[in-house]
Amino acid sequence: MTVNSDFKDRLAAGQKMLGVFVKTPQPIVIEILGQSGLDFMVIDAEHAPFDRQAIDTAMIAGRAAGCPIIVRVPKGDPETLLGVLDSGAAGVMVPHVCSVAQAEDLARAVRYGPGGRGFAGTTRAADYARRGLQEHFDQTTREVSLICQIEDPEGYDARAGIAAVEGVDALFVGRADLSVSYGFRDFFAPETAERCREVLGLAGAATGLYCAPGEDITPWQQAGGSLFVIGSDHTLMTRGVAQMRETVFGSPDSTKGPIS
């Protein structure tokens, strides 16, 4: 059992798991968060400055802390997926998955087999050649999770088919993009909430979504969700300082209070 296979098992079992987005390419941040009791972290390579070197370093810190790391890739091309998985990621979160065909291509790209992931036996994922070829093939099946983001009308319409694709482990609602894609400017729009509930209630794959810090996730759990990303390292820092300032000065506003 590895931390990556444990994450995949818990995902398949529908166990409630809590993670955060990480937007700072600094291994100490990864190490601190990894030791804080989180179930997983998501490196946000879509919206933050994580190149392949930064992702690789993040994996070392994640392993040191014993915390599985998912990488939200900027795009789902085979080359990007290969580099992330060779670095030892527990899986990939792919944005804007809009069709069954796209999900099938992704499922093929993250696993070994005809037309799939290229093999290298000396990577971190292969335990630096300590695994034989067949062992690594078998372990990869047990360790790598594919999470497809639903954040477009096309993806929402194809949600049941995407969830049913063999090799898709979870659907994750990109609530902000989903709202915007339907013309809303409200993260909490009732129409978006209803669409979220419909995705979370799907069979065939685990489901989850991003929640704002402090948001009550009970309705989303009742709808069927189990994979929750709440905030990021950035929001944890800004909210932490605001709370500290409110405790000290009675105001969370950094522009108020005594000048030192």
Residues forming the active site: 47
CA–CA separation, 33 and 67 (whole Å) = 9
CB 106 within 8 A of CB 77: no
CA–CA separation, 217 and 12 (whole Å) = 20
Tokens of 11: 């995902």
CA–CA separation, 107 and 136 (whole Å) = 17
CB 215 within 8 A of CB 187: no
CA–CA separation, 120 and 236 (whole Å) = 37
CB 164 within 8 A of CB 204: yes
Residue length of the chain? 260
DSSP 165-197: STT--EEEE-HHHHHHHTT---TT-HHHHHHHH
